[in-house]
Every structure is written in C-alpha cells, then in structure tokens.
Amino acid sequence: MRVSGILLSMLLAIAALSGSVNAEVRRPAVAGTFYPADSATLSEMVRGHLAQVHDLPEIDGHILALIVPHAGLVYSGAIAACSFKLLERSGVNRVVLCGPSHRHGFNGASVYGPGIRWRTPLGTVECDDTWCRKLLGYDNAIDIVREAHAAEHSLEVQLPYLQTVLPAFKIVPIVFGYPEEKTIETLAAALSSLPDDPNSVMIVSTDWQHYKPASVGRPMDSLGIACIEDLDAERLLKHLADGRVEMCGGAPAVAVMKAALTKGANRAKLLCYGDSGDLTGDKSAVVGYAAIAIYRSVNSESNPDSTDAPELKTANSTPNFDLSDADKKQLLRIARESISTYLKTRDVPEFDVPENLRQPGAAFVTLEKRGRLRGCIGHTMAIDPLYKTVATCAIQAAFADRRFHPVQAEELPQLHIEISVLTPLVEVRSLDEIEVGRHGLMIVMGNSRGLLLPQVATDYGWSRTQFLQQTCQKAGLPTDAYQSPEATIYKYEALIFGE
C-alpha cells in the first residue's frame, strides 16, 4: 500500500507523538535463507568475515559513502566486510541505507520510517525519525511504500554487519523503485539536502553483473568500478542504460554518488572484488560483488590513481605468502585427507589449523599419477580461508575435473599432490612485464578464459611468446589472440610445493 497526502501527514504526526515505544517492528524477511536465523551462528559468520579483512587501502579522509553487495552472506559477506571494516571505531551513529526493490515494482523511492524498528537475529535497530521525515517531506516521489520493504533483502542483509561494527546507530532505510532518471535526480537532491554530519554515512547496496561467465562479467564490472573511482556518475548512468554495466542497485548508486559529490567527495577506492564463482568454483555463470569507499580526501582534490580498467582486488588478496615447512606439510595433509574422506563419506572433514592458514587464500591443487596429470582445479580469488580453499580444490581436482574420470580409492596411493598458493591477479600493461618461471598467466577475451600456472611454462621450457600462445590455446582462442586489443592478460605469482 502506498501512503500519501493527508494520510501520510497523519502517520508522521502520530509517529512523532508516540516515539519509539510503540514503534512498528519490521521483522526479518530473509533470516534462515540469506543468512543464519540463529543469532550465535550469524554473529560468528559476520565476525569471521570481518576478522579476515586485511591490507585495506588507506582512506585519508572522511568517508561519505560505501558500496556493498547484498547476496547471501556465504557468497558476498567477505566482500561486504571490507567496507564495513572501515566503520569500526569510526564514530558513525547514523546510516542512510539505499538499495533496490527486487520484488515490488513502483515509481519513486520508499523510506520505511519513521516510527519503525528493524529487527534481525542480533537485535533491533531504530530509524532516525528526523531524517526520515526530512526525506519524506522533500518531494512526492519519496514516499512510504510498505510492499517494497516487506520481503526485500537488499537493506536487511547489511544490518548484521552494522550491528557488529557500530556500538549504537540509527538508520534511514530507502529502497528505489523503477530506475528512472527523474527519480535518481530527486533522490540525489534529497540526500544532498540532509545536514552535513561527520557521524553519518551513506551505504549503497548493490550486486553487479548477474549470471554471466566470469570472463564476460569481470570486464563489465571493471568498467562500472572505473566510473565510480573516477567519480563520474553520468558515465556510470550512461553505461547502465546501454547495458555495458549491470548493477541491480545502479540507480541508488548514481544518486548517492551525486549526493556525495555535493558534500565534497573527491576520491573513491575499490576495497575488494569477487564473484559467486570464487565460492562455488563454477565460473560459467556468476554474480559480481564489490566493496568501494567514496570519501573526501584531505590530501587531494582529484582522483589521480583511477584508471579505465582498475585492478580488481579480492577480499584481502593472499595475506600470507610466506608459509613455513610445517604449514606446507599441513596443507598437503589437508588436501590428501580431504580426498580420502570425500571418497568414503562425501563430506569435507574439519581441520584444526593455525591462524595464518585461516587467512583468505587463493590456490590451485594439482594431482599427478605416475608423472601424468590426473586433475587440476583452483580458485583465483582469495575468499575462503587458505586451508578451506585447499580442501575444496583438492576434492574438485579429484572428482570434478571434467577432463578425467573421478579418482577411485585404489588410485590414492599413486597420487602425487602439488599445491600452488597464488598472489592476486594483476593486469599486464606490457608483455615485457611477464617473466617466464616467475609469473603465471590468465587471458580473458569475450566469453573465453584460460589460465596456466607458472610451473607449466618452466616444465615445457617455453619462451614468453610460447607461454602466451599456450595460454590462448588453453582458453580455446587462436594462439595470437593475446595481441588483440579485446584481450585482457593477467599475471600472478605462485608459491609451489608438493609431496
């Protein structure tokens, strides 16, 4: 039901008189699906994501807005945590939450307040009634549309992180209807009209491209992220319209960018990036996730470090590239025990590991039998703890590499296991940067994607050109495709050890 006119005025007056004692409670709609319904399990998950955040770029100024994803927390929570980590000990006590309406179509924007308390398994959060009223009174396009919030997840999934990093805060919850340019301008102006407050922050909830191969989706997301890092709201709006960029929360992102600019934003930084395939291992149809900070820098009036194709950093990259001999032995044991246990029970065993192996890590697991390849699977994004990445990739290399039949029990004694722990992918600007024996390569072109580990080039004695040609061939491309302006080449390093 859309509330407007005299009825809206009456509701606001009643809310003002009654205060929060008799506030309506907005109950969680996606507890048990998008995140755990049990408070202890949810708290452990959220705190675990926050604890995994390391090596964030420096934010030398006042944060005006953050961009976060809103998928199920098991998929996007590690990325979202990179933004929320910045709010720890920040003094923020008011959060303007902006996201899209996925389930109910309507014109304009809806503020689900004042006089409403939002509940999660971690407790209740009050709305900032004063700011809610300011927005509702700004323009008729901003209203109360209850149906738009009833089953919507884009704002709800952010609350457990806010409840964990902020000791006390209120929210201004806004969902966006149809992504019309007029509504974007209205909301941008309304947000700009709110008082400048050092203890307030705007948060945009959005996922990026949906269900495309990672080789297709990553360049699309890179283009959109470049628009934000350049603080170019109009360019982002143009690419959303022409389909070169996909964001389900694109309209609120543009509105918040414009509002942040009026409040002095002069820098934006990508904190981390990933996609759903980093968890599942299936890169054929992924959803993109990004964490970005928009802020007013005390040292810069521009954004000189941004580029048209920024390096997409993963959640924390690979934080510990120096593994001890004991660490390597334990990871190899984890890989073998994971395969052995999965053969017997179809379950992944639990392991007790030191803290450094619990840090996010990207890795490949290679299986050989009598000197011949028997399976190789890896994750290029550091999302899961390193030991879990190794366990998952070992099982996938043994049972899910489509080039081979699943490993049988009688083969286990004959398998040789090798692990490659990867550094983050870095885009190659000049082919002269590539060092055979040091770098692995990945090429992305259109729907095609191919990756070769650094030891492959060494094993075969390839030159740089041969390595590039073979990487193209691995992607199913012509061997000279690396020379195409449509191809993107990434390099990385690997710490390699085996049984």
Flag whether pLDDT at 319 surpasses 50.
no
The arithmetic mean of pLDDT across residues 161-188, rounded, is 95
Sort residue 481 into left (φ over 0), alpha (ψ -120 to 50) or beta.
alpha
pLDDT above 80 (res 1): no
| Range with top average pLDDT, 12-26, 30-44, 294-308 | 30-44
Q: What pLDDT, in 10s, does the model give residues 377-409?
A: 887 766 678 898 899 889 988 988 878 888 999
The pTM for the full model equals 0.61
CATH 3.40.50.1100: does it fit domain 426-498? no
CATH 3.40.830.10 range(s) for the chain read 2-297
State the DSSP string of 241-306: HHTSS--TTHHHHHHHHHHHHHTT--EEEEEEEEETHHHHS--SSEEEEEEEEEEEESS-SS-TT-
Residues 6+ apart with CB under 8 A from 260: 64, 65, 202, 294
Q: Give Cα separations from 153 to 70, 147, 212 (angstroms).
A: 7, 13, 22
Q: Which of 53-62, 198-207, 261-270, 349-358 has the highest mean pLDDT?
A: 198-207
CATH 3.30.1490.150 in the chain is located at: 426-498
**Segment among 3-7, 102-106, 282-286, 368-372 with least mean pLDDT:** 3-7
- Asked whether residue 316 carries a pLDDT value surpassing 70, the answer given is no
Q: What is the pLDDT of residue 2?
A: 55
Where is pLDDT greater, at 218 or 77?
A: 77
Going by pLDDT thresholds of 50, 70 and 90, the confidence category of residue 299 is low
2-297 maps to which CATH number? 3.40.830.10
Q: What pLDDT, on the 0 to 100 scale, is given for residue 389?
A: 86
Weakest mean pLDDT among 106-110, 287-291, 316-320: 316-320
Indicate whether 104 pLDDT > 90. yes
Residue 196 — very low, low, confident or very high, per pLDDT cuts 50/70/90? confident
Residue 55: its pLDDT value, please? 80
Give the model confidence (pLDDT) of 332-348 as tens digits: 999 999 999 988 887 77
Domain with CATH 3.30.700.20 in the chain: 325-422
Q: Sorting pLDDT into bands at 50, 70 and 90, what band is 356?
A: confident
Residue 314 has pLDDT above 50, yes or no: no
Check if CATH label 3.30.700.20 holds for domain 325-422: yes
5 pLDDT exceeds 50? no
State the average pLDDT over residues 233-248: 92
